């Protein structure tokens, strides 16, 4: 098992290098690299200093090397707009976005899987058709519009929930989280729901298809022949078999959720990375853009690694063949 | 005369589709005593598996038991609610399927799958259930049963998996086990092991057994009685000795003749011409008449049951000679 | 031995497709809706009671009126209300649908052409060509589209053409991958071998023989992608990264109305949103049905 993890880890690190190279080439090679590190109105002395510090007069691969060196030390330049280290800025906002994203995934799982299973079991019922039709809507509706509608309905018309911002924040293990307080939860529900919508529809579809297929399998018939209660057949036998592909897809969707957080955070003025990156793109605050991209790349690679490991834990056939192989 | 454990009378199961009604099980009747092993023989499409499923109450739409009765120790099973049927399945009647790789859930451990069967029907603690499971594995001859319990199905060989399935079937000491072609997917050597295992277990525990197969030779070594099915009907039944030594129905005769061992070397193998009819397009009267060399106009009417003595029965207007009398 | 009855009836594949498609009420409704919207888009400037981008026609006194109100000079009804500049929402929406759908269709069409060609080349020739193209495609597909689009727009700046380029960049990899898988499957079939033996030049094999057989899955995907492109473009516009104010798509209209939501003037965002929704949902319904209809057909070939 350990060998497996180490092997995957090595692969991930290799991917990280390639990605950082791409980011570097993409952002630094387009246009004058100096513009990425210094505001246009900086003095000549500052320019010279930065050139020396980042080795911008050296050949490209040396630049990449020093870029990498600096990056590993956490130095990605200072934000033009805020004059604080770009990485620090991103990491300050990181917990807020993660909180939103994790919440969204949880909602998608908790709502999507039962609804999908139910819809597969009661195929002909009106309820099932409604669930399916709603899932098409879930795919089609652009995230930002749903967000607007949610605000319109819950904040403006009904006045139940706040329309923007993050609620009260408490620190847990040094990480500022907001779902621990009632106020925080109130602020969290709408944006999380907004972000989750597409994935709820996706999970419903996947679960439904998976359950339909599973119900036709021999092991379900055998379980019935053993006289097991339906509850157990569906809740244990079928569920464990369909969970694997669903979790895989959801985990891979996590990256997409983080990306779409950009939209949700803009709509709900949620102080996360997404809002920061939009503002930064608008004013061309390149250090922040680069820092964001690198953090995202690391996150995606990490997610892929975790998915691989989790997959092998969940599917005993994979785990054992890895140990043998 | 002991009271039979299982009494099936005129069991009829239909499958309705847009193309018509498929009479998968068409008036099947037989009975089993405690500890008796009956072979239910037929080709694919003969309705033998459907008979098994009908007894278990596992027929799903568009299929339905439309007529007949199934009595387990006098208790009627057809028409009782699903909840009552559930308490009987795996408990009083157990079933073993053909391919144990498909029937055991690949992502659950063996002990999970066994313990849940015990807990569904017996009011015992989990530890107790685990013990019962372990004993059952030992009984079917699985070495180091205790360790094997925490394994997954794919870690067993084909023969072992089927033994596990047998162990699961015996967990709650059922009165009847229905085996649906359990050895078809296995090697011949493993097959004979499983067969003798089952025979031994049944004699020990007094469990009745219905062994569904297409292979008459298996039945010959294993069963006490045999029923031959064709196109949803039982065309011949009786003790194994009677039916195999003196088959009366042309189909049974053909089946026996088809078995390779019966052939004298050098002579062309016997075959039954034609194919089993589609259940949706059964000929009227005797379903076998299109393939039978002995068929006549008489056969357009469904043959009635003829009793040939000593429990030997058949449905045919032109039965084969009684070779046992001649002997 | 099943011989398809349709073969004997001498039905053209298109007729078969049409019949299969119409088996679902939803799908037909979706198609009708889409055609209706497309027509509105085409005829937008003709149908609109007002040209919302001609400042001479706007009256600031009429700004932020609720739906159904009469104009100050009595010349027209503002059926869907007005925005903060006094623009008639109905007209703005008609122009907006036009722009949104055009961007969606154009970018999808070009991305399809590029992705299709690259994918077919990769699948047919294999080797280094295939590896190169597919590696690039894979890397791109591992990033969420919105991120790629945002970065591209950040680097290149905004504008009509640049948005279309960004949308194309986001979509092509998907087509390339699908076209390549289809090409891989078809490549092994005998009719390709026959064509090669007959010394038919590569590009003819690719486009006249391989292409038609790879089309069914691509048709489904490209229809879905039109909706996706429209959605992405409107999201980008909403974020202020999309089309410029001179050519406002539905997304920008919605963005404009955002600030008025809290004060109850919902119509400035709501109606463009509904129009956007109708466009996307109708396309998705069509694509869904196409997918169901085209798939079993593949097996009948």
- Coil/strand/helix, residue A268: helix
Shortest distance between the Cα of A255 and any Cα of chain C, in A, equals: 7
- Residue A147: which H helix or E strand, with range? helix A143-150
Spatial neighbors of A288 by CB under 8 A, at least 6 apart, are A79, A81, A86, A89, A90, A276, A277, A280
Establish if B258 touches chain A: CB-CB under 8 angstroms. no
Tokens encoding C35: 């055609």
Give the whole-angstrom CA distance, residue B24 versus residue A302: 55
Q: Do A225 and B97 touch (CB under 8 A)?
A: yes
pLDDT of residue C3: 42
Using a CB–CB cutoff of 8 Å, tell me whether A215 touches chain B.
no
Most confident range (mean pLDDT) of A164-168, B296-300, C176-180 is C176-180
pLDDT (tens digit per residue) in B45-74: 788 889 999 999 888 878 888 889 999 988
Residue A90 reports pLDDT greater than 80: yes
**Rounded distance between C-alpha atoms, residue B164 and residue A157, angstroms:** 62
List the one residue out of A112, A156, C131, A125 whose CA is nearest residue C139: C131
Q: How many CB pairs under 8 A join A and C?
A: 98
Single out the residue of C186, C185, C219 nearest to residue C293, CA to CA.
Answer: C219
The span from the first CA to the last CA of chain B, in angstroms, equals: 29
Give the closest residue to B182 by CA, choosing from B154, B212, B205, B204: B212
Chain A interface includes B298 (CB < 8 A)? no
Binding partners of A (≥3 Cβ pairs within 8 A): B, C
Determine which helix (DSSP H) or strand (DSSP E) holds A67, and give its type and residue range.
helix A60-72
CATH architecture of B6-92+172-314: 3-Layer(aba) Sandwich (3.40)
A274 Cα to chain C: minimum distance (Å): 10
Question: CA-CA distances (angstroms) from residue B307 to A61, A134, B240, B289?
Answer: 96, 64, 16, 21
Given a cut of 80, whether residue A261 has pLDDT beyond it is: yes
Residue C4: the pLDDT is 40
All residues of chain C having their beta carbon less than 8 Å from the beta carbon of residue A163 are: 262
What's A112's DSSP letter? Answer: H
- The rounded Cα C77 to chain-centroid distance in angstroms is 32
Residue A24 gets which letter from DSSP?
I
**pLDDT of the residue at B62:** 83
Give the residue-averaged pLDDT of B189-209: 84
Q: What residues pair up with C88 in beta bridges, in sequence order?
A: C82
Q: Please give the angle made by the CA atoms of C268, C271 and C274, to the nearest 5 degrees.
A: 145
In chain B, what is the greatest distance between 2 CA atoms, to the nearest angstrom? 66
How does DSSP classify residue A78? B
Residue A204 exposure: Cα atoms within 13 Å on the Cβ side: 24
Ranked by mean pLDDT, which of A22-31, A173-182, C266-275 comes out on top? C266-275
B89 and A241: CB-CB below 8 Å? Answer: no
- Indicate the pTM of the whole model: 0.77
C295 vs C80, residue with greater confidence:
C80
Chain B hits for A227, Cβ within 8 Å: 86-91, 117, 120-121
* Mean per-residue pLDDT over chain A, rounded: 79
Residue to mutate among B72, B103, B210, with most A CBs inside 10 A, is B103
CA–CA separation, A28 vs A294, rounded Å?
13
Say whether pLDDT at B21 is over 50: yes
How much is the pLDDT for C55?
66
High-pLDDT (> 70) share of chain C, %: 84
pLDDT mean over A274-285: 79
Question: What kind and span of H or E run contains B32?
Answer: strand B20-32
What is the chain B residue with the closest CA to A316?
B107
CB C122 within 8 A of CB C176: yes
Distant-in-sequence, close-in-space partners of C244: CB < 8 Å, separation ≥ 6: C158, C159, C160
Percentage of the residues of chain A whose pLDDT score is greater than 70: 82
Question: Is the confidence at residue B153, as pLDDT, over 60?
Answer: yes
Option in A225, A236, A240 nearest B58 (CB) = A225
Express as a percent the part of chain B with pLDDT over 90.
Answer: 15
A231 CB within 8 Å of a chain B CB: no
pLDDT at C111: 93
CA–CA distance, B275 with B295 (Å, rounded to integer): 16
Taking CB atoms and an 8 Å cutoff, what residues of chain B touch A244?
Answer: 107
Both structure tokens of B148: 């094997």
End-to-end CA distance of chain A: 11
Mean pLDDT for the stretch of residues B296-304: 80
**Is B90 an interface residue toward A (CB < 8 Å)?**
yes
Q: Does C262 touch chain A (CB under 8 A)?
A: yes
User: pLDDT confidence of C108, banded at 50, 70, 90?
Assistant: very high
Angstrom distance (rounded) from CA A240 to CA A234: 9
Residue showing tokens 């980008």: C236
Q: Which domains does chain C have, with CATH numbers?
A: 16-49+94-298 (1.10.3720.10)
- Range from A123-137, A164-178, C35-49, C82-96 carrying the lowest mean pLDDT: A164-178
- pLDDT band of B210, cuts 50, 70, 90: very high
- Cα–Cα distances (Å) from B319 to B235, B259, B303, in that order, read 11, 20, 11
Look at strands B208-213 and B20-32 and give their pairing: unpaired
pLDDT score of C56: 66
| Continuous H helices in chain B | 48-56, 82-88, 100-103, 110-121, 126-139, 145-148, 158-170, 188-205, 216-222, 240-245, 250-258, 323-326
Please say whether the beta carbons of B233 and B30 come within 8 A.
no
Indicate the residue of A140, A259, A278 with minimum beta-carbon distance to C144. A259
Reported as a pLDDT band with limits 50, 70 and 90, residue A234 is confident
Q: Do A219 and B86 touch (CB under 8 A)?
A: no
Q: Using the predicted structure, report yes or no on whether residue C66 has a pLDDT greater than 60.
A: yes
- Determine B/C contact with 3+ CB pairs under 8 A as the test: no
Cβ–Cβ contact C25 with A under 8 A: no
Q: Which of A257, A192, A132 is nearest to C284 (CA)?
A: A132
Question: Which pairing describes strands B37-41 and B20-32: parallel, antiparallel, or unpaired?
Answer: unpaired
Q: How confident is the model at residue A38 (pLDDT cuts 50, 70, 90)?
A: low
Work out the pLDDT band at B268, boundaries 50, 70, 90: low
More confident of the two residues C62 and C89: C89
Q: Closest partner residue to C147 among A148, A149, A259, by Cβ?
A: A259
Angular region, B240: left φ>0, alpha ψ -120 to 50, beta rest: alpha
What is the band of C58 on the pLDDT scale with cuts at 50, 70, 90?
Answer: low
- Cα–chain center distance at B214: 10
Alpha carbon of B278: minimum distance to chain A alpha carbons (Å): 23
Closest CA to B103 of B185, B201, B189, B202: B185
Q: Which residue has the tokens 């692969």?
A: A11
What is the SS3 assignment for B10? strand
CB atoms near residue B126 (< 10 Å):
12
- Could you give the angle at which helices A273-283 and A86-121 cross, rounded to 10 degrees? 130
A150: Cβ contacts below 8 Å, ≥ 6 apart: A190, A193, A194
Concatenated DSSP letters of C89-115: HHHHHHHHHHHHHHHHHHHHHHHHHHH
Maximum distance among all alpha carbons in chain A? 83
Res C6: pLDDT: 40
Closest CA of chain B from A224, distance in Å: 8
CA distances from C214 to A39, A75, C226, C292, C293 (A): 51, 49, 19, 16, 15
**Cα atoms found within 13 Å of the Cα of residue A166, Cβ hemisphere only:** 22
DSSP, collapsed to helix, strand or coil, labels residue C133 as helix
Question: Which residue of A222, A240, A320 is in closest CB contact with B103?
Answer: A222
Q: What was the pLDDT predicted at A37?
A: 58
CB contact under 8 A, A225 and B95: yes
Among residues A125, A263, B35, B287, the alpha carbon closest in space to that of C251 is found at A263
Ramachandran region of residue B68, left (φ > 0), alpha (ψ -120 to 50) or beta? left
Burial of B155 per CB tally in 10 Å (0-12, 13-18, 19+)? middle
Q: How confident is the model at residue C284 (pLDDT cuts 50, 70, 90)?
A: confident
Chain A residue numbers touching B176 (CB-CB < 8 A):
none
**Domains of chain B: which residue ranges?**
6-92+172-314, 109-171
CB of A309 closer than 8 Å to CB of A110: no
Chain A residues touching residue C238 (CB < 8 angstroms): 142, 144, 263, 266
Burial class (CB in 10 A: 0-12, 13-18, 19+), B168: buried
Which of C142, C276, C288 has the CB atom closest to A142's CB atom? C276
Q: Cβ-count burial of B67 within 10 angstroms (0-12 exposed, 13-18 middle, 19+ buried)?
A: middle
Top-confidence range, B129-133, B290-294, C121-125, C263-267: B129-133
Which residues share a beta bridge with B76?
B71
CA distance C47 to A267: 33
Q: Which chain A residue lies closest to C261 (C-alpha atoms)?
A: A152
């Amino acid at each position: 098992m350990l060998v497996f993890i180490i092997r995957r880890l090595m692969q991930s690190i290799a991917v990280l290098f390639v990605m950082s190279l791409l980011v570097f080439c993409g952002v630094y090679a387009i246009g004058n690299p100096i513009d990425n590190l210094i505001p246009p109105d900086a003095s000549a002395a500052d320019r010279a200093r930065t050139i020396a510090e980042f080795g911008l007069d050296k050949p490209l691969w040396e630049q990449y090397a020093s870029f990498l060196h600096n990056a590993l030390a956490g130095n990605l330049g200072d934000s033009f707009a805020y004059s604080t280290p770009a990485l620090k800025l991103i990491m300050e906002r990181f917990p807020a976005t993660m909180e939103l994203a994790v919440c969204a995934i949880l909602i998608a799982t908790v709502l999507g899987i039962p609804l999908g299973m139910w819809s597969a079991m009661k195929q002909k019922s009106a309820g099932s058709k409604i669930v399916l039709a709603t899932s098409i809507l879930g795919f089609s509706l652009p995230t930002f519009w749903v967000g607007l509608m949610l605000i319109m309905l819950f904040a403006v018309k009904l006045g139940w929930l706040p329309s923007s911002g993050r609620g009260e924040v408490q620190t847990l293990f040094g990480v500022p989280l907001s779902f621990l307080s009632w106020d925080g939860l109130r602020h969290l529900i709408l944006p999380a729901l907004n972000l989750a919508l597409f994935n709820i529809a996706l999970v419903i579809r996947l679960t439904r298809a998976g359950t339909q297929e599973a119900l036709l399998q021999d092991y379900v018939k055998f379980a019935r022949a053993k006289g097991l209660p339906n509850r157990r057949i569906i809740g244990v036998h079928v569920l464990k078999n369909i969970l694997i592909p669903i979790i895989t897809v959801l985990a891979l969707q996590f990256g997409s959720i983080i990306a779409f957080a950009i939209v949700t955070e803009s709509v709900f003025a949620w102080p996360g990375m997404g809002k920061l990156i939009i503002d930064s793109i608008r004013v061309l605050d390149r250090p922040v853009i680069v820092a964001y991209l690198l953090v995202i790349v690391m996150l995606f690679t990490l997610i892929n690694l975790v998915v691989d490991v989790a997959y092998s834990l969940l599917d005993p056939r994979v785990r054992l063949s890895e140990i043998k192989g | 005369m002991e009271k039979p454990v299982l009494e099936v009378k005129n069991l009829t199961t239909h499958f309705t589709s847009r193309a018509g009604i498929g009479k998968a099980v068409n008036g099947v009747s037989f009975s089993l005593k405690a500890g008796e092993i009956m072979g239910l023989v037929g080709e694919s499409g003969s309705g033998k598996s459907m008979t098994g499923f009908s007894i278990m109450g596992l027929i799903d739409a568009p299929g339905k038991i439309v007529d007949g009765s199934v009595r387990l120790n006098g208790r009627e099973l057809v028409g009782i609610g699903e909840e009552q049927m559930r308490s009987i399945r795996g408990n009083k009647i157990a079933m073993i399927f053909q391919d144990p790789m498909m029937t055991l859930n690949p992502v659950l451990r063996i002990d999970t799958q066994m313990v849940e069967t015990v807990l569904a029907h017996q009011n015992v603690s989990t530890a107790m259930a685990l013990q019962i499971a372990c004993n059952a594995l030992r009984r079917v001859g699985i070495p180091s049963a205790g360790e094997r319990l925490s394994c997954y199905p794919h870690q067993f060989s084909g023969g072992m998996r089927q033994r596990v399935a047998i162990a699961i079937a015996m967990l709650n000491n059922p009165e009847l086990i229905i085996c649906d072609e359990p050895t078809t997917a296995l090697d011949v050597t493993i097959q004979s092991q499983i067969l003798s295992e089952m025979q031994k277990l049944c004699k020990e525990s007094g469990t009745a057994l219905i062994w569904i197969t297409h292979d008459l030779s298996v039945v010959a070594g294993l069963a006490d009685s045999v029923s031959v099915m064709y196109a949803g009907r039982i065309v011949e039944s009786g003790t194994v000795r009677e039916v195999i030594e003196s088959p009366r129905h042309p189909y049974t005769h053909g089946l026996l003749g088809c078995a390779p061992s019966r052939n004298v070397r050098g002579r062309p193998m016997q075959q039954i011409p034609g194919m089993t009819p589609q259940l949706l397009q059964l000929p009227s009267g005797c379903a076998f008449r299109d393939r039978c060399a002995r068929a006549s106009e008489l056969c357009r009417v469904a043959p009635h049951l003829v009793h040939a003595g000593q429990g030997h029965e058949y449905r045919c207007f032109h039965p084969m000679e009684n070779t046992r009398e001649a002997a | 031995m099943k011989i398809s009855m349709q073969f004997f009836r001498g039905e053209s594949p298109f007729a078969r497709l049409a019949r299969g498609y119409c088996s679902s009420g939803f799908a037909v409704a979706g198609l009708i809706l889409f055609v209706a919207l497309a027509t509105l888009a085409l005829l937008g400037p003709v149908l609109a009671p007002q040209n919302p981008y001609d400042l001479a026609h706007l009256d600031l006194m009429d700004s932020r009126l609720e739906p159904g109100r009469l104009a100050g000079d009595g010349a027209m009804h503002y059926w869907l209300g007005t925005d903060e500049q006094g623009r008639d929402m109905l007209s703005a929406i008609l122009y907006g649908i036009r722009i949104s759908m055009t961007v969606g269709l154009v970018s999808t069409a070009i991305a399809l052409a590029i992705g299709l060609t690259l994918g077919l080349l990769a699948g047919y020739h294999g080797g280094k060509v295939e590896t190169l193209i597919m590696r690039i495609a894979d890397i791109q597909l591992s990033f969420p589209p919105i991120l790629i689009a945002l970065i591209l727009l950040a680097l290149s700046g905004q504008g009509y053409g640049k948005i279309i380029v960004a949308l194309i960049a986001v979509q092509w990899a998907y087509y390339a991958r699908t076209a390549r898988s289809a090409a891989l499957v078809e490549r092994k079939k005998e009719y390709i071998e026959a064509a090669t033996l007959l010394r038919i030049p590569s590009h003819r094999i690719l486009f006249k023989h391989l292409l038609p057989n790879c089309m069914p899955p691509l048709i489904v995907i490209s229809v879905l992608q039109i909706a996706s492109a429209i959605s992405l473009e409107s999201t980008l516009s909403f974020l202020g990264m999309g089309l410029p104010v001179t050519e406002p798509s539905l997304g920008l209209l919605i963005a404009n109305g955002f600030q008025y939501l809290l004060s109850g003037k919902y119509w400035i965002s709501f109606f463009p949103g509904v129009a956007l929704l109708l466009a996307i949902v109708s396309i998705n319904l069509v694509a869904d049905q196409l997918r169901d209809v085209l798939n079993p057909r593949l097996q009948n070939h």
